Structure 1
Amino acid sequence: MLNKTALGVAISAVLSISVSAAEQTIEKITVTANKFEQPINDVLASVAVIERADIEKANYRDLPAILNTIAGIDIVRNGGLGQKADIFVRGASAKYTLVLVDGVRVSDASSGSVSLTNIPVNSIERVELIKGARAAIYGSDAVAGVINIITRKASNNSLSATLGSHSYSNYQLAGGLVKEALSFNYNLGYEETDGFDVTGKDPAAEYTKDHDDDGYKNKNIGFNLAYELAELGQLSLQSQYSEGEAQYDNAWGNDAYDFENYTAKLGWNKASDIYSQSTSVSVSQEENTQTGTDVQQVYSTERVEFEYRGLYTLTEELELSGGFNYLSEDLSNSSATSSEEKRDNKALFIGAFYSHNKWLANAVVRTDDYDFHGRANTYSTGLGYKANNYVTLRLNHGTAFRAPSLINAFVTNSPYYLPNNNIKPEEALNNELGITLETQWGRYDIAIFDNRINNLISNNYDADSGKYIATNIDKVSMQGIELSAEFSALGFEHSVNVSFLDATDEKTNTDLPRRPSESFNYQLAKSWGDFDASLDMQYRSSRPSIAYYDSELADYTVFNLAANYQLLDNLSLAARIENITDKEYFTAATGFAASGELLGYNSAGRTFFVGANYQF
């Protein structure tokens, strides 16, 4: 249970801080949480932003490591680079978080999972995470939150190389040019590692083919092109492409996969004093092929999406938005067969955004019409109060849904599953109360949330057929508190957040598996002229494993160190040490040893990375 006394003390402490210091300009962070630019405090939701500069200072090697530093986020890894990594946002599993690259969906439409480790860090300019129900803005899957990865717009040409443990190597080239109305930015990279043995082994068991290192390779390229037309607005074209291969452990079947993913988006936008509008059409593919045996399985999702959106300034205080969206999903290239392999969704949405003196308010409603599954109506509302120049209180309430997969409804010729033509979308209800304090001493935030998901889809065993049927039977709830702070003290920069979570299966009244009830992240950073360094700590409390193992996953604490040195005007050096203490831990179980010891997916252990970056 959540400690209400501790929460009251924390809120009182924030509200009692003196804000009578001399007026100072506070940096205003602008985000696109509502699909147009707004100051972060006007969004009336919990938003986290990680910029390119933050990524380079910490020398992160993959996207899951970046996300794992955010309050309310926990990453469950099935190994290292290239292996599966699931994100839990406020206790909700990965399929309830919508992941976008430049606003383009990148999930596998069958499972809802996203290959987070295959999104190259060298392609990322900025990561925005909006927590809470956002389906009224983004549609299906935006139940627990939305991650929008905005791709690289490097202003200088740079070449970098990084080497590290497990024969790791990474080479990146990025840059751009601006010539009158034309701008062009590019990024490309190559990453490879021999990896490590990702699963714990029973010393008493026979050696099988999974007793080996599990490597990874990623080749990627992307660009952003924009042209400004004086009277007609701006045309843009964005694209990212990556391909590669990775190995994992499976003693009896496929133990590797090849992947080929891409996104491409053509857009147009034009703004006047009272009206701005944008149109985009995008195509994408998320595909991996399971290899390692003669029988290969393909998981493929192809999408085409079109959207028009307008924003009208009715008065100085009130803006109105609206538009429509068309989405087509195609699973016909997948190995799994179903009687329906394609579906379309058509959506309409309208919204209002109000800001006047101390008060903020917004409301958005949306209707989605998915083929075969019927109509889903969602809304999002927010109310904010600016107590003064420093303190903002927010309250938001919204609904969300997740459409069933075509496999759930129409699977055919499966030895394990039967279709359920009457399967319904999963539904969610979300509430949040938050307080943000921004002063010359730093930024502080408290968020209290309550997220409930109904009509949860589970695979139910059917005794007559001996197979499983996807059925709307479950209900879960997730409540918690997040406290975050960024401030300067004693000559150091501090970033700290702590999360408390109560995630419950309402049907069985048990804790949901793999969710730690307490999480703590802390980063300490300092610059000395041309040299900067940061030390970060991550703590996760113990949590139950999945019911099959009926066991508990131990708590753990890891420390990471990063450093950078500007050797010359155009040459810098970088280093990172992960898991300094060589802590052995795992976040997902795999089985038991003969001794009864619980086995799991291994962590990488202590790893070292060193690199150099040259600008030209």
Structure 2
Amino acid sequence: MLNKSTLGVAIAAALSFSVSAEQSIEHLTVTANKFEQSITDVLASVTVIERSDIEKNNYRDLPSILSNIAGVDIVRNGGFGQNADVFVRGATAKYTLVLVDGVRVSDASSGSVSLTNIPVNSIERVEIVKGARAAIYGSDAVAGVINIITRQATNNTLSATLGTDSYENYQLAGGIVKDAVTFNYNLGYENTDGYDVTGKDPSQPVTKDHDDDGYTNKNIGFNLAYQTENAGVFSLLSQYSEGQGQYDNAWGNDAYDFENYTAKLGWKKSSAIYTQSASVSISQEENIQTGTEEQQVYSTNRVEFEYSGLYTLTNTVDITGGVNFLNEDLSDSSAKSSEEQRDNTALFVGVFYDDDTWLGNAVVRTDDYDFHGRANTYTTALGYRANKYVTLRLSHGTAFRAPSLINAFVTDSQWYAPNSDIKPEESVNNEFGVTIDTQWGRYDIAIFDNKIDNLITNEYDADTGKWVATNIDKVSMQGIELSAEFEGFGFQHNVNLSLLDAKDETTNTDLPRRPSEMFNYTLGKSWGDFDVNLVMQYRSSRPSIYDRELAAYTVFNLSANYQVMDDLSFQARVENITDKDYFTAGIGFAANGELLGYNAAGRQFFVGASYQF
């Protein structure tokens, strides 16, 4: 259950600090509904991480960027290059749609996303939209959407960072604007020897897993745009990364090679009352498990086309709509199925209303996935601006996640049998929120309720002796999120508290790995050309998958920047200042009954320099 006393204390603290704030929070433009809106007009919980935030905190990977957001928890299986699952409002990674410039980047078999392999130097900003968004984005947008917009650097900047475990990172980014052409580029190299990511039983003999687990990432990307006088804007965006990572596995492969890319050709044209856009994109998410003679390949290739339009009907009403076609191809994967490709055709239409006092929107979408039938989803929202400071919002929506081809058509598997009758997972989401946006700061309260039905679970079939994907489970996730951004007592404050009650409705038990309480607090201070940010992260205890509780923990991270001159700056970051020993996921038990897990990195130091030219 949610702790009401904790909630009361948090609200009181936020309100007491607000009277000392000194300046308003900047209004941001976001693309939560696939067209540009002020963040104050979006009737959903939205967080935006700008490039300036990334550089101010000297983040080294994408999971670190996401870990400070209300309602978002990261479950790491070690450090750089290791698997890191994002839990949005208690829902596992496969229920959050991750996009790079609007292009899907998940593995279509498992639904997972290699967050650690998306290089930070390629990121301009990250938009996180929580709640059911399938009516706008389609399958997988059950708990929310994370859209990563790639670099749009204007100054040429060369950066180098060194750190713990022989960490090294070199980046080059910049841009050129000449007449109607804009070109931005980024490239980087990252390497570390890593550390031993799993806990070891001291009573057992030393094996090949008693080693450091290193990581390498090489990446390059560009954004090209051409502005015509009458035909609109044409764009070409592409990102590519490849590398290697090591991990612990006593029974097989213990390393992987990856090669991921996205490319998108786009067009957009606007008039006084109508904006239309079209795009075609290709992407690959490929991971090859190595370390033994028998390698496993996980490969997803996608081709996607979309056309959409936004029509201003009146001063208060906008109408949007479009068509989307998606092809997913798993034929390059080791796991084989009788069907290795599928298409999805989707249509969507929406109405958005805003008369400066009342806001409302309704979006409906229909998706027709090969083999799985049609999925119809919708989202509705109503907002009320009580005055120029306070906005109330109420939303209700549905979402779905399509089964994988492996679930339905796996062949030649020693462990799994197909289920051609498998159905999409479905969800219903409700949210109530209040946003207070004043000259003293920005505050937000969100209360949400998300239920997922027809969950796909592997059930043992005694007749075949294999596991079969089956729609049987139900889960529910309710919670409260409190967020505040303000200035007070000469410092910048960014604080959020999340309270979560996540249940398996089938067994009436708490879902594992979900902390019921999360607290993030960033305290920032600038002295001229020097700035410092101190971050505190608290996670309460939570059950593990091994019927044993994972202990609560608190970690502190520190970042600092010094602008020596206009074109030269120095950066530093210390992670886990107190060298806290903790883990967020278990792996089994030692002989004495102690729970073993994936080790979090201990205290780590990073120092760097950036030069603009």
TM-score range for the pair, normalised by the shorter chain length: over 0.9
Q: For residue 337 of structure 1, give the secondary structure of its aligned residue in structure 2.
A: coil
Question: Closer, same or farther in 2 for the Cα pair 1:6/1:192, shift >3 Å?
Answer: closer
> Are 1:348 and 2:359 counterparts?
no
Which residue in the other structure is 1:550 paired with?
Answer: 547
Which of these residues, 605, 609, 613, is aligned with residue 610 of structure 2? 613
Q: For residue 554 of structure 2, give the secondary structure of its aligned residue in structure 1.
A: strand
Which residue in the other structure is 1:131 paired with?
Answer: 130
Q: For residue 307 of structure 1, give the secondary structure of its aligned residue in structure 2.
A: strand
Is the Cα contact below 8 Å between 2:24 and 2:442 reproduced in 1?
no
Which residue in the other structure is 1:256 paired with?
Answer: 255
Give the drift of 1:357: 2.6
Aligned-partner Cα distance in 2 for 1:13–1:599: 37
Which residue in the other structure is 1:161 paired with?
Answer: 160
Which of these residues, 586, 591, 615, is aligned with residue 588 of structure 2? 591
Question: Closer, same or farther in 2 for the Cα pair 1:5/1:573, shift >3 Å?
Answer: closer
Aligned residue identity for 1:609: F
Give the drift of 1:591: 1.0
Further displaced range: 64-73 or 5-14: 5-14
Write the mapping of 1:510-521 to structure 2, written as runs, cut at 5 A.
Answer: 510-521=509-520
Give the drift of 1:466: 1.4
Is the Cα contact below 8 Å between 1:11 and 1:446 reproduced in 2?
no
Which residue in the other structure is 1:306 paired with?
Answer: 305
Q: For residue 94 of structure 2, give the secondary structure of its aligned residue in structure 1.
A: helix
Which residue in the other structure is 1:235 paired with?
Answer: 234
Question: Closer, same or farther in 2 for the Cα pair 1:424/1:335, shift >3 Å?
Answer: same
Give the drift of 1:431: 0.3
Q: For residue 95 of structure 1, give the secondary structure of its aligned residue in structure 2.
A: helix
Give the drift of 1:293: 0.1
Write the mapping of 1:184-263 to structure 2, written as runs, cut at 5 A.
Answer: 184-263=183-262
Aligned-partner Cα distance in 2 for 1:152–1:569: 21
Aligned-partner Cα distance in 2 for 1:531–1:212: 39
> Are 1:2 and 2:2 counterparts?
yes
> Are 1:506 and 2:505 counterparts?
yes
Which residue in the other structure is 1:580 paired with?
Answer: 577
Give the drift of 1:282: 0.1
Give the drift of 1:14: 8.1
Q: For residue 412 of structure 1, give the secondary structure of its aligned residue in structure 2.
A: coil
Which residue in the other structure is 1:77 paired with?
Answer: 76
Aligned-partner Cα distance in 2 for 1:164–1:17: 36
Question: Closer, same or farther in 2 for the Cα pair 1:570/1:352, shift >3 Å?
Answer: same
* TM-score w.r.t. length of structure 1: 0.97
Is the Cα contact below 8 Å between 1:276 and 1:311 reproduced in 2?
yes
Question: Closer, same or farther in 2 for the Cα pair 1:274/1:14, shift >3 Å?
Answer: farther
Which residue in the other structure is 1:528 paired with?
Answer: 527
1:449-485 C-alpha deviation (Å, 9 max, x unpaired): 0000000000001112211000000000000000000
How large is the RMSD of aligned CA atoms in angstroms? 1.6
1:158-186 C-alpha deviation (Å, 9 max, x unpaired): 00000000000000000001001100000
Give the drift of 1:25: 7.5
1:517-550 C-alpha deviation (Å, 9 max, x unpaired): 000000000100110001000000000001xx21
Aligned-partner Cα distance in 2 for 1:593–1:97: 34
Aligned-partner Cα distance in 2 for 1:380–1:550: 37
1:426-451 C-alpha deviation (Å, 9 max, x unpaired): 00000000000011111000000000
Which residue in the other structure is 2:110 paired with?
Answer: 111
Which residue in the other structure is 1:147 paired with?
Answer: 146
Aligned residue identity for 1:393: L
Give the drift of 1:112: 0.0
Further displaced range: 36-45 or 502-511: 36-45
Is the Cα contact below 8 Å between 1:479 and 1:503 reproduced in 2?
yes
Structure 2 residue runs of 5 or longer lacking an equivalent are: none
Which residue in the other structure is 2:441 paired with?
Answer: 442
Write the mapping of 1:408-557 to structure 2, written as runs, cut at 5 A.
Answer: 408-546=407-545, 549-557=546-554
Aligned residue identity for 1:287: E
1:313-346 C-alpha deviation (Å, 9 max, x unpaired): 0000000001100000000000000000000000
Give the drift of 1:27: 2.8
Aligned-partner Cα distance in 1 for 2:8–2:582: 34
Is the Cα contact below 8 Å between 1:481 and 1:500 reproduced in 2?
yes
Aligned-partner Cα distance in 1 for 2:497–2:18: 23
Q: For residue 392 of structure 1, give the secondary structure of its aligned residue in structure 2.
A: strand
Give the drift of 1:15: 9.4
Aligned-partner Cα distance in 2 for 1:436–1:10: 16
1:24-62 C-alpha deviation (Å, 9 max, x unpaired): 986321100000000112110000000000000000000
Give the drift of 1:3: 3.9
Which residue in the other structure is 1:27 paired with?
Answer: 26
Aligned-partner Cα distance in 1 for 2:285–2:429: 29
Question: Closer, same or farther in 2 for the Cα pair 1:386/1:5, shift >3 Å?
Answer: farther
Matched residues, number: 612
Which residue in the other structure is 1:361 paired with?
Answer: 360
Q: For residue 577 of structure 2, give the secondary structure of its aligned residue in structure 1.
A: coil
* TM-score w.r.t. length of structure 2: 0.98
Aligned residue identity for 2:507: T
Is the Cα contact below 8 Å between 2:24 and 2:486 reproduced in 1?
no
1:65-92 C-alpha deviation (Å, 9 max, x unpaired): 0000000000000011000000000000
Which residue in the other structure is 1:383 paired with?
Answer: 382
Question: Closer, same or farther in 2 for the Cα pair 1:532/1:13, shift >3 Å?
Answer: closer
Aligned-partner Cα distance in 2 for 1:195–1:5: 41
Aligned-partner Cα distance in 1 for 2:541–2:556: 18
Aligned residue identity for 2:47: A
Q: For residue 65 of structure 1, give the secondary structure of its aligned residue in structure 2.
A: helix
Is the Cα contact below 8 Å between 1:87 and 1:94 reproduced in 2?
yes
Aligned-partner Cα distance in 2 for 1:12–1:188: 46
Aligned residue identity for 1:557: T
Question: Closer, same or farther in 2 for the Cα pair 1:410/1:357, shift >3 Å?
Answer: same
Aligned-partner Cα distance in 2 for 1:570–1:540: 39
